[in-house]
Amino acid sequence: MQPHDIAAASVAFLAVLVTALSLNVSRLRLRHRVSFGDGGHKDLLVALRAHGNALEQSMLFAALAIAYAWLAGVHAGLLAGCAYAFGAARVVHAAAIFARRLALRQAAHVVSTAVHLVLAAAIARAIAATA
């Protein structure tokens, strides 16, 4: 696969994940008849945070992946590895939030952050190589 294909596929995967988490929030809002906030319902609060966190982290990854894919001479393998690691980390993070597994959630966050940093460094290196 070409870097732009990898970026597109990973963004599409994350869109499905974030949409699924959003639908869960909507389901709980209907169940509890809550339009704003969490209405004091712990399950809705957890669902809101799972969705919000996935969205926050996925937007940065998407921007970095797309930026990296647009650069000349980039390594598809690096982007693919980052995409797989990030996608898996976000699924684990969401599951860990619902299961209330703090250590697993923290580990997934570390992986997500590491992927962000790897892609940012790779972008900087690729730009410096062309300058």
pLDDT beyond 80 at 129:
yes
Could you report the per-residue pLDDT of 51-63, keeping only the tens digit for each? 999 999 999 999 9
pLDDT beyond 90 at 114:
yes
**Spatial separation of the C-alpha atoms in residues 11 and 88, rounded to whole Å:** 13
- pLDDT at residue 43, rounded to an integer: 92
Residues 6+ apart with CB under 8 A from 26: none
Residues of the chain by 3-state class (helix, strand, coil), percent to 5: 85, 0, 15
pLDDT beyond 80 at 18:
yes
- pLDDT at residue 130, rounded to an integer: 83
Q: What is the mean pLDDT of residues 42-50?
A: 93
- pLDDT at residue 37, rounded to an integer: 83
- pLDDT at residue 30, rounded to an integer: 87
Q: Which residue has the higher pLDDT, 131 or 46?
A: 46
Could you report the per-residue pLDDT of 62-77, keeping only the tens digit for each? 999 999 999 988 899 9
Q: What is the mean pLDDT of residues 73-99?
A: 96
Longest dimension (CA), the chain: 57
Q: What is the pTM of this model?
A: 0.92
- Residue boundaries of the structural domains of the chain: 3-130
**Spatial separation of the C-alpha atoms in residues 129 and 7, rounded to whole Å:** 21
C-beta of residue 115 within 8 angstroms of C-beta of residue 61 = yes
**Spatial separation of the C-alpha atoms in residues 125 and 30, rounded to whole Å:** 48
Which among 74, 58, 68 is positioned nearest to 10, based on CA atoms?
A: 58
pLDDT beyond 90 at 82:
yes
Q: Class assignment of domain 3-130?
A: mainly alpha
C-beta of residue 65 within 8 angstroms of C-beta of residue 11 = yes
Q: What is the mean pLDDT of residues 8-27?
A: 97
